[in-house]
């Protein structure tokens, strides 16, 4: 394993984007998960920090005036900058916190290298409301909808491992301090609500939506990248609007794996999907899908109908896994928020998702696994 020289870092980022392109032609073509050259993100040093403040108000959405063209004109980070952005802060349930500096590496072996704006109302609904509320335990308790969970701060998260939930960083940290309630953060799982112990009442077969309730599990610790904490005051912040929560006990549900976000033109139908707890439909899990309108290295721009509360939802697609010869859904991004963008002098609004790039995949996977050898396939 060898460190990446600073001058080669930009070339590495471009290579990570380019490897794995699949041509969408041929009679038997299937949208296939690309293979990527994945870097390794490893902790180098950890520093104990002082007690955090939990005074920030929960913001269920974030907004930025820097649109696709603005982001495309921003230089890719240098090696040293990337190390700063991918370093991270960890908050524990007892209120202590640490800051961890990281190193970025490539494997020397060939193994694993397979293939601000004017004030406007943020409507976030585009024409006809195309969202679907999911009713009945036959749907809510089955995959993939069962992977969507609710945070006690009001956002959505997605189950990505036996004890881990992926969400947006702004759901627990505003870039300067932690959101109120984060020290006692909980994750809610929808369960059937039975009255008087009767398990047959209000069944989905009756034609009446079955009542559901949340069962809550406490969070053991959270990880937030320093790119969010350092960059929230400028345009780089939204690129790092993601966080990982570790639960105090396993949730015992099927989860959805994370994956490196393919280019938009390789997505099946050019579409993405996600489900969340939009706050205009209290208690409902709301599913939607839509086309990707534009993309940068770190962000996907789309016009999926969404409302605050859906922030933190895992954006996923279903593609063909060549090695296992099966279809597989993976989380390729995290729904972040809303943007008004100046498009050739005309304001246009987008909803934005943070893409899981090869570097972000390596970081999040290490947070989950604690072993880079288990993070060689994205």
Residue 275's pLDDT is 92
Better-predicted residue by pLDDT, 75 or 167: 167
Q: Return all residues near 188 (Cβ < 8 A) that are at least 6 apart.
A: 149, 150, 151, 152, 214, 215, 216
Helix axes 358-369, 9-18, angle to 10 degrees: 90
Task: Using the predicted structure, report yes or no on whether residue 364 has a pLDDT greater than 60.
Answer: yes
What gap in Å lies between CA 34 and CA 24, rounded to an integer? 12
Choice among 204, 235, 280, 342 that is catalytic: 235
- Could you report the per-residue pLDDT of 202-241, keeping only the tens digit for each? 444 444 456 778 999 999 999 999 999 875 445 566 899 9
Q: Is 63 a catalytic residue?
A: no
d(CA 81, CA 231): 11
**pLDDT of 225:** 96
pLDDT band, very low/low/confident/very high, at 341 (cuts 50, 70, 90): low
Q: Which domains, ranges and CATH numbers included, belong to the chain?
A: 33-105+136-192+210-369 (2.40.10.120)
pTM: 0.82
Cα distances (angstroms) measured from residue 371 to each of 27, 59, 245, 262: 40, 33, 17, 24
Of residues 311, 313, 336, 338, which has the active-site annotation?
311
Give me the chain's average pLDDT, please.
Answer: 80
Helix axes 358-369, 79-86, angle to 10 degrees: 40
pLDDT at 113: 36
Where residue 122 falls among pLDDT bands split at 50, 70, 90?
A: very low
User: 333: closest CA among 374, 302, 369?
Assistant: 302
HEC string of 252-266 equals: CCCCCCECCCCCHHH
| Known active-site residue 170 | yes
d(CA 200, CA 263): 47
State the catalytic residue, choosing from 164, 170, 251, 273: 170
């Amino acid at each position: 394993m060898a460190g990446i020289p600073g001058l080669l870092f930009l070339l590495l980022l471009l290579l990570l984007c380019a490897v794995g392109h699949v041509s969408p032609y041929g009679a038997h073509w299937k949208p296939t998960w690309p293979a990527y050259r994945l870097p390794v993100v490893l902790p180098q040093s950890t520093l104990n920090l002082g007690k955090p403040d939990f005074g920030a108000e929960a913001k269920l959405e974030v907004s930025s005036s820097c649109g696709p063209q603005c982001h495309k004109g921003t230089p890719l980070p240098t090696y040293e900058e990337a190390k700063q952005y991918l370093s991270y802060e960890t908050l524990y349930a007892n209120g202590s916190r640490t800051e961890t500096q990281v190193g970025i590496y490539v494997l020397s072996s060939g193994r694993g290298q397979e293939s601000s704006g004017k004030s406007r109302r943020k409507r976030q609904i585009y024409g006809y409301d195309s969202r679907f509320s999911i009713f009945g335990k036959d749907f809510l308790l089955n995959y993939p909808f069962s992977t969507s969970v609710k945070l006690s701060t009001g956002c959505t998260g997605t189950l990505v491992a036996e004890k881990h939930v992926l969400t947006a960083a702004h759901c627990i940290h505003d870039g300067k301090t932690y959101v109120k309630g984060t020290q006692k953060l909980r994750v809610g799982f929808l369960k059937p609500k039975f009255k008087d112990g009767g398990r047959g009442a209000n069944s989905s077969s009756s034609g009446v939506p079955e009542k559901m309730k949340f069962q809550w599990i406490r969070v053991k610790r959270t990880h937030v990248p320093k790119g969010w904490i350092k960059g929230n005051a400028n345009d780089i912040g939204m690129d790092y609007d993601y966080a990982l929560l570790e639960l105090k006990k396993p949730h015992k549900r099927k989860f959805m794996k994370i994956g490196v976000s393919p280019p938009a033109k390789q997505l099946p139908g050019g579409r993405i999907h996600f489900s969340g707890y939009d706050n205009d439909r209290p208690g409902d899990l709301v599913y939607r899908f839509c086309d990707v309108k534009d993309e940068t290295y770190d962000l996907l721009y789309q016009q999926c109908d969404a409302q605050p509360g859906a922030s933190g939802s895992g954006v996923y697609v279903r593609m063909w896994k060549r090695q296992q010869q099966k279809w597989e859904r993976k989380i390729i991004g995290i729904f972040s928020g809303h943007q008004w963008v100046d498009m050739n002098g005309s304001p246009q609004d987008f909803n934005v998702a943070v893409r899981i790039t090869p570097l972000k995949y390596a970081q999040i996977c290490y947070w989950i696994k604690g072993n880079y050898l288990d993070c060689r396939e994205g």
